[in-house]
Amino acid sequence: MMGVSCKNELDLKPQGVVSSDDLNSPENIEKMIISAYSALGNESIVTPNSLWPWGSLRSGDALKGGDGLGDNSGWNDYEQFVTNRPNNTYTDQMWAQLYNGIARANDALARVNTLDETQFSDKVTRQAELRFLRANWYFMLKILYNRVPYIDENDDKDDYIAIANDEYTSDELWTMIAGEFKFAADNLPENQTEIGRVNKYIALAALAKTQLYQAYKQDDNHNVTSIDQSLLQQVIANCDEVIAGGKYGLADDLAENFLTEFENGKESIFAIQYSKGDGTRYGRIDMGHSLSYTLNPEFGCCGFHIPSQDMVNAFKTADNGLPLFDSYNNGDAVQGDDFLKYSFDPRLEHTVAIPGHPFKYSPDYIFAVSWTRAPATYGAFASLKDMVPPNDPSFQRIPPFMSSSKNWELIRYADVLLWKAEALIELGREDEALPLINQLRTRAANSTGRLKKADGTFSSTFKIATYQPGVNCEWTNAYARQALRYERRMELAMEGNRFFDLVRWGIADTYINNYLTTESAKKAYLKTAHFQKNRDEYLPIPLNQINYSLGLYKQNPGY
């Protein structure tokens, strides 16, 4: 009667999955590498890989937007600073998102390491790619959280619980990240057949960026104490190599960086390759910017990521075509013809959607206050660089949201020029920086072709000039530094860098509190906001992670 005890009744193979051992063939390892790359685009509507909620929102460039203060209130807490608490869920989600990428890179890397080059001829290249990707995520973690646990492919997952976030100093972390980019730069080919793979120049650019951040030495309370001259020289050398490589350059028109049809153009050094019509329901699209879209019938949601009045005013230029460094906030340009009363840097109309002006280079498609969600609170601007018009082939609805498969450039050539210029200025070689900055101003001046209204006129008065020492300025070191920092804001506005620049330069507290004083007179909700020096330079370590680490992770100062 009991003759049924077939033991293998209990041995059931898992269905629809693979084991770790199944993935060690060269073909499957290549797929594990793709999986690591795909993490570049894996993001949610609240954790954009462009970093705008941290880089633009906290910098005075952008306001949260949305329905009101409580709509994605975690972002409101970033904007208010004082209420940014360690339990902010976005802070935790972003942390996890970045470590997900790192884990994918580590997993693939551990497998690549086991093969020898006779089995896997691309071994070193792939190692370099993976180490680049991993370092890219550590870089993001570093500028967001400062002290983070550093884990590589040799650490066993069971031991992660013993890897503290204060195992390495801030400077040691920079050195390790730079070391990874250096390995990548030394071992990657100049060209890869697939455009989405990283190459030598991308690694050099990332290395230069890392060294620039590392050059500004910070103490434990985030005060910038000195600037490392030799690192600055390495920044210049690495930028020079990218420039000299000739593979990349400035696009003819700034607009090309933000238009689908020019994806992977010559200015695009490192971009997230988004896609649609790719076999997924809504495409692997740019979800990180999906909340930027507006409430006009062609879109429908959600009106976040709003340029501040300060940001818009900053595009004003003086009669000599140079920025109004200190007085740009004298008089607000809000909508329509306001923009004819002052003169502006043309980059304004590439960056900001303005009521009464054409939307995104479409002369007949006029942006209006009615497109905006909460103009009384956040004003009636919108962010342009991240949006595409509804008839763009890359536009994709993902109800109730929408976005596009347009690539997002994480590193563009303009940024490389500005890093080099910054290093030169900090080395006292401001004269060499001048032509670099002027290159961008010249390109900006030439980027008005798409900005015309249907009648051939412009909605704003454009006036921009290059810096001409002795003619329209005195190109002193201090002036050059001011010009460089201003130029970065104009060129890279709303692209998610600004806050990190301010922290790098050690001016975040004064700059942001000044901004808050001015902007809160127009946006009453900012009256309660205040940047707390020696705390708000970095996010808190997420409370969840401190708890999950059983108290091993140490909280950042001030939280």
Determine, following the binding rule CB under 8 A, whether residue 341 of this chain makes contact with other proteins: no
Please tell me whether residue 199 binds other proteins under the rule CB under 8 A: no
Smallest gap from Cβ 149 to other proteins, in A, equals 5
Residue type at 225 in one-letter notation: T
Report the site for other proteins in 246-285 (rule: CB under 8 A). Answer: 260, 263-264, 273-282, 284
Q: What is the DSSP string of 170-189?
A: HHHHHHHHHHHHHHHHHHS-
CA 421 to CA 334: how far, in whole Å? Answer: 33
Measured between alpha carbons, how far is residue 369 from residues 60, 295, 372, 453, 474 in Å? 22, 10, 5, 18, 41
CA distance 391 to 158: 50
How far is Cα 404 from Cα 419, in angstroms, rounded to an integer? 29
| Residue 68 interacting with other proteins (CB under 8 A) | yes
Amino acid identity of residue 18, one-letter, is: V
> What is the Cα–Cα distance from 417 to 464, expressed in whole angstroms?
19
- Positions in 157-176 near other proteins (CB under 8 A): 157, 160-161, 163
When asked if residue 446 is in the footprint of other proteins (CB under 8 A), the reply is: no
Closest separation in Å from C-beta 221 to other proteins: 18
Tell whether residue 43 is a contact of other proteins (CB under 8 A): yes
In terms of DSSP bridges, do strands 461-462 and 343-344 run parallel, antiparallel, or are they unpaired? Answer: parallel
Can residue 127 be called a binding residue for other proteins (CB under 8 A)?
Answer: no
| Residue 207, number of CB atoms within 10 A of its CB | 29
Pick the piece of the chain touching other proteins (CB under 8 A) from 57-65, 298-306, 326-334, 429-437.
Answer: 298-306
Is 12 near other proteins (CB under 8 A)?
Answer: yes
Query: 441 with 464: CB under 8 angstroms?
Result: yes
Shorter beta-carbon distance to other proteins: residue 163 or 227:
163
Distance CA 329, CA 559 (A): 33
Site for other proteins contains 377 (CB under 8 A): yes
- Tell the smallest beta-carbon distance from residue 312 to other proteins (Å): 19
Is there a cis peptide before residue 469, judged by omega within 30 degrees of 0? no
- The mark string for 390-419 relative to other proteins (x by CB under 8 A, - otherwise) is ----x--xxxxx---x-x------------
Residue 301 as a binder of other proteins (CB under 8 A): the answer is: yes
Q: Binding to other proteins (CB under 8 A): which residues in 504-543? A: 524-525, 527-528, 542-543
Query: CA-CA distance, 86 to 389, in Å (whole number)?
Result: 37
Q: What is the 3-state secondary structure (H, E, C) of 349-404?
A: HHHEECCCCEECCEEEEECCHHHCCCHHHHCCCEECCCCCCCCCCCEEEECCEEEE
Residue 146 Cα distances to 78, 168, 171, 181, 215, angstroms: 16, 11, 10, 18, 15
Verify binding: residue 490, other proteins, rule CB under 8 A: no
Report d(CA 412, CA 431) in Å as an integer.
Answer: 23
Of the residues 25, 42, 442, 446, which one makes contact with other proteins according to CB under 8 A: 42
Beta carbon of residue 379, minimum distance to other proteins (angstroms, whole number): 11
Q: Which is nearer to other proteins, 265 or 321 (CB)?
A: 265
Nearer to other proteins, 16 or 456 (CB): 16
Verify binding: residue 71, other proteins, rule CB under 8 A: yes
| Residue from 23, 115, 124, 176 binding other proteins (CB under 8 A) | 23
> Toward other proteins, which CB reaches closer, 299 or 458?
299
Task: Identify residues 94-113 at the interface with other proteins (CB under 8 A).
Answer: 95-97, 99-100, 102-104, 106-107
The answer to whether 16 contacts other proteins (rule: CB under 8 A) is yes
CB of 251 to other proteins, least distance (A): 16
In the list 37, 132, 511, 538, the residue contacting other proteins (rule: CB under 8 A) is 37
Angle between helices 498-505 and 508-520 (to 10 degrees): 130
Tell me whether residue 407 or residue 466 sits nearer to other proteins (CB atom): 407
Residue 250 burial (10 A CB sphere; 0-12, 13-18, 19+): buried
Shortest gap between Cβ of 544 and other proteins (angstroms)?
Answer: 8
Is residue 468 at the binding interface for other proteins, with CB under 8 A as the rule? no
